[in-house]
Amino acid sequence: MSALICGSLAFDSIMVFHDHFKNHILPEKIHMLNVSFLVPEMRREFGGCAGNIAYNLKLLGGNPQIMATCGADFAPYAAHLDKLEISRKHIRSVDDSFTAQAFITTDLSDNQITAFHPGAMNFSHFNHVDQASDITIGIVAPDGRNGMLQHAREFHAAGTPFIFDPGQGMPMFDGNDLMEFVALADYVTLNDYEAELLQNRTGKTLPELAQQVRALIVTCGELGSQIYTGGQIFDIPCARASAVLDPTGCGDAYRAGLLHGISNGMDWPTTGRLASLMGAIKIAHRGGQNHAPSQGEIKKLFKTEFGYELD
């Protein structure tokens, strides 16, 4: 069984400014801003929603297939995926383009200034779901606008169940677009802020939206998550983290847990708890792909946290 993960691949350049932005930005000069921050700390991480989800699904023993677009600078990421034994069969290289890149500068108050270059992500519609075979489940994660719409339609046409995960791509879509995604999808997953946006843009409540899919999942950070399904709401507790170092990629780790639970026929309380645990494991490490628990360790942590065995 394979999961087709449609979404972005990106390099994340993360820099730390050893001061506070507010000390160097004059409020009365915002209209003519010209500042430079010395950032002695910098690291480059492998990221993007598709890459992060695939990484976590692989940790769980799944068989992720990434469908994404990359640029001419992708070689280091390609080598990383090869080392992880994650297939690159459906990753398309776009000439004269960069792989998507995020440049994030954080100050000592955890304020962030981010510049994002979509690069090859804008050509995600070059890929088609029917190019992949033996797919049992999919996910449409943040990507190029046209690609997200196209892949959702293609999953639905093929009869392949999939998760709609708008994430940071939400601003690209109006209410009609979002209602189409919900109508096409089998599952929808959002964080609490995205859930508010979805309701505002569609004019529908979460229970109303949940009636149109098999399950609607809303994450609420340290408050846990809720799963709306079959007229019920399952409250999923937040798994305890050994440390809270970096939330980058926690949502993607959660979504890998959802994919694994759905693919393996787990009940919703167990699926949600596994997803929560994957997010907790991730948040204790910097970057989206630097945690590396074995499947045995994940099962042990699950039993310790929730009191029963993970099949």
Place of tokens 């004059």: 26
Rounded to an integer, what distance in angstroms lies between the CA atom of residue 253 and that of residue 275? Answer: 7
User: Is residue 166 within 8 Å of 181, Cβ to Cβ?
Assistant: yes
Across 146-167, average pLDDT: 98
SS3 62: coil
SS3 184: helix
- Kindly report the pTM of this predicted structure: 0.95
- Length of the chain, in residues: 311
Tokens representing 40 are 């002695």
Rounded to an integer, what distance in angstroms lies between the CA atom of residue 115 and that of residue 104? Answer: 7
Q: How confident is the model at residue 40 (pLDDT cuts 50, 70, 90)?
A: very high
65-124: per-residue pLDDT in tens?
Answer: 999 999 999 999 999 999 999 999 999 999 999 999 999 898 898 788 889 999 999 999
Name every residue whose Cβ is closer than 8 Å to that of residue 84 and which is 6 or more positions away in sequence: 55, 58
In terms of DSSP bridges, do strands 215-219 and 187-191 run parallel, antiparallel, or are they unpaired? parallel
Please check the confidence at residue 270 and state whether its pLDDT lies above 80: yes
Q: So where are the chain's domains?
A: 2-20+41-306
Closest by CA to 167, choosing from 52, 268, 77, 59, is: 52
- The pLDDT value recorded for residue 251 is 95
Across 51-64, average pLDDT: 98
Name every residue whose Cβ is closer than 8 Å to that of residue 101 and which is 6 or more positions away in sequence: 10, 11, 12, 13, 116, 117, 119
Q: Which CATH number is 2-20+41-306 given?
A: 3.40.1190.20
Q: How confident is the model at residue 223 (pLDDT cuts 50, 70, 90)?
A: very high
Q: Residue 303 to residues 136, 150, 261, 272, 275: CA-CA distances in angstroms? A: 28, 40, 16, 14, 14
Across 258-283, average pLDDT: 98
Across 270-297, average pLDDT: 97
